[in-house]
Structure 1
């Protein structure tokens, strides 16, 4: 219960810090300095990633196929398991070094992993539509310390020649999506809501972070 109170207090402080500003102390001050954002002090003990089997997989090679999971860079197989490995790798990288403060277990549940089809990848490009819920738990009891929170980590996807050039540099969809998810989860744990939104542009109707 004490741990829950600490987590709640930290997150509440982070939520209000973004709109807080100090009062001007003197008449001569021309502009008040903005408040420095607070940072959570968390010790992430473990990471658990779940990809529900209820998420629908699409293998249709269209610009924007239906389904919750669209993934083509691994060979045909268990797409749920492939996505789980990618997200686990990303989350593990993202929490690296977060080992000081309140002990927590990070619980991630994938809600959408919609990368580019072959057709979109080599023509128009589009958007990697990435969504997951994040919950912090007590590492000892598993009890939830926070409510599940939906995180959107959409990432602009390359198309055509830009996609081919990126692959030559080693910037595959998997690499870029992994880096994006790692960046987003780290930002969310340190300062909730602070991660930059993806610049999706006019291609937001299709389904990674521009390099």
Structure 2
């Protein structure tokens, strides 16, 4: 878990602006019902809590578009839920560090609902979409009261494929690197913009991806 003291120390060290939420039996259940409204840019994040529910299915199938909720291959075979949680924690921390903190202390709860990176087969041929989706909720660190309603964030973006993927890897630009930086930017926009993050239109790839997310696996 990332403590409020660790995050506060990192935020204080910036001179310019740039662990787990309760699991539920269903992937799309709301995180809270009691809320208080606060303007988005006013938050000072003191703690980040990331949850990757064990109810999310992991697929190790090497197909262009495998079923399941979690598809991740760049780390060694092992606990994919823990690996995805570590990626989200690093990304959320990176995004929060780059922000100018506001005056309202808050805890940031993240509940991952989908993490589809590319399989080996897709990455070295046609490419595809990194499908990254989560619920977020801001809370009062003392009372646990939610600030506003829980928000669903769709952070899908285009993945590299074929020669572009190979060239990127040679430069140290891995899937993990791109996903971490993308999610860091997403949470910055989500916390500072009244309209939140708006995912780009990914055309046919995005439509197919959304269809897969909505179907039961």
**TM-score, structure 2 normalization:** 0.75
- Correspondences of 1:45-124 after superposition (within 5 Å): 45-96=46-97, 97-124=99-126
> SS of 1:81's equivalent?
helix
CA deviation profile, 1:112-136 (whole Å, cap 9, x unmatched)? 0011000000000000000000000
2:191 corresponds in structure 1 to: 189
**Structure 2, unaligned stretches of length 5 or more?**
1-34, 213-217
In the alignment, the residues of structure 2 paired with residue 142 and residue 55 of structure 1 have an alpha-carbon distance, to the nearest angstrom, of 26
RMSD: 1.7
Deviation at 1:101, TM superposition (A): 1.4
- Correspondences of 1:103-182 after superposition (within 5 Å): 103-182=105-184
Native 8 Å contact 1:188 1:194 kept in 2 = yes
Native 8 Å contact 1:44 1:98 kept in 2 = no
In the alignment, the residues of structure 2 paired with residue 175 and residue 10 of structure 1 have an alpha-carbon distance, to the nearest angstrom, of 31
> SS of 1:52's equivalent?
coil
Deviation at 1:42, TM superposition (A): 1.2
Residues 105 and 9 of structure 1, relative CA distance in 2, 3 Å threshold: closer
CA deviation profile, 1:137-180 (whole Å, cap 9, x unmatched)? 11112222222110010010010000001111111000000001
In the alignment, the residues of structure 1 paired with residue 119 and residue 102 of structure 2 have an alpha-carbon distance, to the nearest angstrom, of 41
Q: Which consecutive segments of 4 or more residues in structure 1 shift more than 6 A?
A: none
Q: Which has the larger radius of gyration?
A: 1
Native 8 Å contact 2:111 2:136 kept in 1 = yes
CA deviation profile, 1:59-109 (whole Å, cap 9, x unmatched)? 000000000000000000000000000000000111114433111100000
> SS of 1:145's equivalent?
strand
Native 8 Å contact 2:153 2:197 kept in 1 = no
In the alignment, the residues of structure 2 paired with residue 198 and residue 178 of structure 1 have an alpha-carbon distance, to the nearest angstrom, of 17
**TM-score, structure 1 normalization:** 0.77
In the alignment, the residues of structure 2 paired with residue 173 and residue 55 of structure 1 have an alpha-carbon distance, to the nearest angstrom, of 21
